[in-house]
Amino acid sequence: MAEQSRTIFVCSCEDSMPLDEKAIGRGCRGAKIETARHLCRAEIERFRAAAGAGASLTVGCTQEAPLFSEVAAEAAPAAEIAFVNVRETAGWSKQAKKTGPKMAALIAAAAEPMPEFPLVSLSSEGVILIYGRDERAIEAAKLLKDRLDVTVLISKPGEIMPPRVTEFPIVKGTIKSAKGHLGAFELMVDDYASPAPSSRDRFAWGTSRDSASSRADLVLDLSGGAPLFPAPDLRDGYLRADPGDPNAVLRAVLKAGELVGTFDKPRYITFTEHLCAHSRSRIVGCHRCLDLCPTGAIAPNGNHVKIDAEVCAGCGACAAACPTGAASYALPTADALMRKLRTLLSVYREAGGEHPVLLLHDAGHGDELIDALARHGDGLPAHVLPVAVNELTQVGLETVAAAFAYGASAVRFLLRARPHHDVSGLAKTISYAEPILVGLGFGTGRVATIETDDPDALGQALASIDPAEPVKQPASFQAVGAKRDVLRLALRELQRAAPKPVDVVALPEDAPFGAIEINVEGCTLCLACVSACPTGALLDDPERPMLRFAEDACVQCGLCKATCPEKVISLKPQIDFRAATATARVLKEEEPFLCIKCGKPFGTKSTIGRVTAKLEGKHWMFKGQPQRLEVLKMCEDCRVIAMTEDSVDPYGAPERPKVRTTEDYLREREEQGRKS
């Protein structure tokens, strides 16, 4: 890795960890390596001088990042500075003396640029609805009335004494439906009623009505019942607390008081509508994202789906599962994450490291466990390279494939013992990766999860990983482009570098790669499947009756299978590594039928033959007039001419039987009765 103008500061933190300057230098070739013992205090002027000189800086410390940022801003406001944690992730470890290659890799990866991501703005004017069952909702409202515009909604109230002064509205009702987000909640309320002003020792309620609507910027739910939204912890502006826990209620009240103004959140998903394979002609094909979204932010929208950026909580499961790349993650993009892994693994190898294990984790839970393990346990093993991502569920098959192609020995996902949201999408990604790795000779168990909140359990799980050999000739490809493109590239490079490369690997059901199989005898070449295919995997031929298939473009959405009128199509999930360079193969081909008048090709011989056989001697237009069967063997133009010359009367059908009513049957029965 060339770092021509970068200065790297690595501090031993008062000799609490060893520094392998040679290993760091091997990994970060061309960069200026500066070691220190007490950089944040006694040696701070060294850092100030480097910042003032305008060098690009990397500092191997995150604990004192605010101090270094302040000093750099004073010395050179435009200074470029990156921070990386090499103390808790490497130096504070039982294997600290072997962590030089890991430090080099972490430092180099930290300097890898990450693209900017778009933002979504949410605005709140402080209108809050407090939903509860008793006086505790009113007490919470009293704490917020001076900061927010408060309304209290009491569900199925008991005997509640009215306040002496009406400082905010108190009404009754039960929320039957809710939608929206911070700044734009819409609620439907049943049994809604206002209290009578004359209420004395208890509220007396007026006449109730159902389906009353209410709007609010915030909702504080103290009802103690089921949450109003799926994945309630991920819904911006919806605060929920157990009314029996005063501390939880107070925390929710304090948080609600802060939610006034304009707030920016990342637009986690970039959606390209025309790539979506959700449906065609009202027939549903792919619905992977709809099945996985924990917040309900995705909904059908005609032939495509629509992602509500305001509701989206950024789990990234839709992007990881999307087979076409219509939904792609932006924090960071898949190709940016793969470039970071490339740098991390290549520098680790160049610095002398062996058997690297990637530990993918989220910034919150993972950082806390790694920190606790470093401070109170044995720390991370020297060959375990931690990589923080926004959400583990954003990681797709392309990232896993690239990791092994770049030289990882194993990949582990560090999950909470009780995840915040559904991780079934990640489980699917692992289920796709496992047969591919086994099929290519990597063996079993190379990719798995570690589900724990205990740092000691994390350490034990990492220590038990078999140090399997990575690929002998790691890939060095640069991942650039859309998600589907980098996925194909990563899989091809993985197969090229694999211990035992094969051409075809069978995959589990619902995998995003595969072939289709057709019952050739039952296919009529109607080509309805070609019209339905959203990716162009199924193709016709303008010159002759033919159905072709390009496997590299197939995403197994199932639209062809659902559309086929003869029901002769089936899906075959697999990955064929030859598909990227293969030409479209012919699934069925027939001889075209030539018009008996002008010779123009139209239809197929088998279709014209079947139609002729079904109508000959059976339909009134053709009985006793075999010459009319010849019309069926003409193209559309010649058919019109022939029918006109023959003066065929389309209304000349035999007289239909007279319509009989119930009265006719009753009359006949009566007459038969009289005769008998």
pLDDT one-digit tens code per residue, 475-495: 999 998 888 999 999 999 999
- At 601, is the pLDDT very low, low, confident or very high (cuts 50, 70, 90)? confident
593 CB-contact burial (10 Å; exposed 0-12 / middle 13-18 / buried 19+): buried
Instruction: Answer whether the bond into residue 512 is a cis peptide, omega within 30°.
Output: no
**Segment among 243-252, 284-293, 296-305, 593-602 with least mean pLDDT:** 593-602
Residue 665 exposed, middle or buried by CB count within 10 Å (0-12, 13-18, 19+): exposed
The total number of residues written for the chain in this structure: 676
User: DSSP labels for 369-386?
Assistant: HHHHHHHHS--S-TTEEE
List all residues 6 or more positions away from 619 whose beta carbon is below 8 Å from its beta carbon: none
Provide the β-strand partners of residue 195. 205
For every residue of 124-137, DSSP letters joined together read E--EEEEEESSHHH
Say what the pLDDT of residue 622 is. Answer: 66
When pLDDT is cut at 50, 70 and 90, the band that residue 621 belongs to is low
Res 18 pLDDT > 50: yes
Domain ranges of the chain: 1-83, 121-264, 267-329, 354-502, 514-589, 611-676
With a cut of 60, say whether residue 185 has pLDDT above it: yes
pLDDT in the model for residue 648: 58
Q: Over the chain, what is the mean pLDDT?
A: 93
Does domain 267-329 fall into CATH 3.30.70.20?
yes
* Nearest C-alpha neighbor of 95 from the set 355, 342, 413: 355
pLDDT mean over 616-631: 69
What residues have CB less than 8 Å from 668, skipping those under 6 apart? none
Q: How many Å apart are CA 82 and CA 57, to the nearest integer?
A: 6
Tell me what percent of the chain is helix, strand and coil, each rounded to the nearest 5. 35, 25, 45
pLDDT of residue 2: 42
Over residues 493-510, the pLDDT tens digits come to 999 999 999 999 999 999
| pLDDT tens string 632-671 | 888 888 888 887 777 656 556 566 677 888 888 888 888 8
- Could you identify the residue written with the tokens 């984790």? 361
Phi, psi of 544 (to 5 degrees): -155, 160
Using 50, 70 and 90 to split pLDDT, how confident is the model at 41?
very high
In this prediction, residues 381-401 reach a mean pLDDT of: 97
Supply the pLDDT for residue 623: 65
Q: Backbone phi, then psi, for 147, in 5-degree steps? A: -115, -25
> Of the ranges 65-69, 124-128, 644-648, which one carries the lowest mean pLDDT score?
644-648
Alpha carbon distance 129, 185 (integer Å): 10
Mean pLDDT of 88-103: 97
Q: pTM for this one?
A: 0.87
**Residue 616: which H helix or E strand, with range?**
none
20-36: per-residue pLDDT in tens?
A: 999 999 999 889 999 99
Residue recorded with tokens 């109508």: 615
The Cα–Cα gap between 108 and 130 comes to: 50
Beta strands in 125-242 (DSSP E): 127-132, 149-154, 170-181, 184-193, 212-216, 218-221, 238-240
Identify whether the C-beta of residue 488 lies closer than 8 Å to the C-beta of residue 477: no
Query: pLDDT tens digits for 339-372?
Result: 999 999 999 999 999 999 999 999 889 999 999 9
Give the closest residue to 385 by CA, choosing from 444, 438, 326, 343.
Answer: 343
CA nearest 654: which of 619, 629, 626? 619
Residue 104 pLDDT exceeds 90: yes
pLDDT of residue 380: 98
For 574-589, what is each residue's pLDDT tens digit? 999 999 999 999 999 9
3-state secondary structure of 505: strand
Confidence at residue 663, expressed as pLDDT on a 0 to 100 scale:
86
Measured CA to CA, the distance from residue 617 to residue 504 in angstroms comes to 52
DSSP state of 202: S
pLDDT of residue 117 exceeding 50, the answer is yes
CA distances from 74 to 6, 29, 68, 81, 319 (A): 19, 29, 10, 13, 41
With cut-offs at 50, 70 and 90, classify the pLDDT of residue 4. very low
Establish whether domains 121-264 and 514-589 are of one fold: no
b/e per residue 303-313 (b: at least 16 CB within 10 A): bbbebbbbbbb
Residue pair 174/193 in contact (Cβ under 8 Å)? The answer is no
The SS3 call for residue 31 is coil
Q: Average pLDDT for residues 194-202, to the nearest whole number? A: 93
Kindly indicate whether the domain formed by 121-264 is annotated with CATH number 3.30.1360.80. Answer: no
Q: pLDDT at position 229, please? A: 96
CATH class of the domain at 514-589: alpha beta
The Cα–Cα gap between 310 and 292 comes to: 17
pLDDT at position 94 = 97
Per the structure block, which two tokens stand in for 179?
A: 């939608």
Position 3 scores a pLDDT of: 43
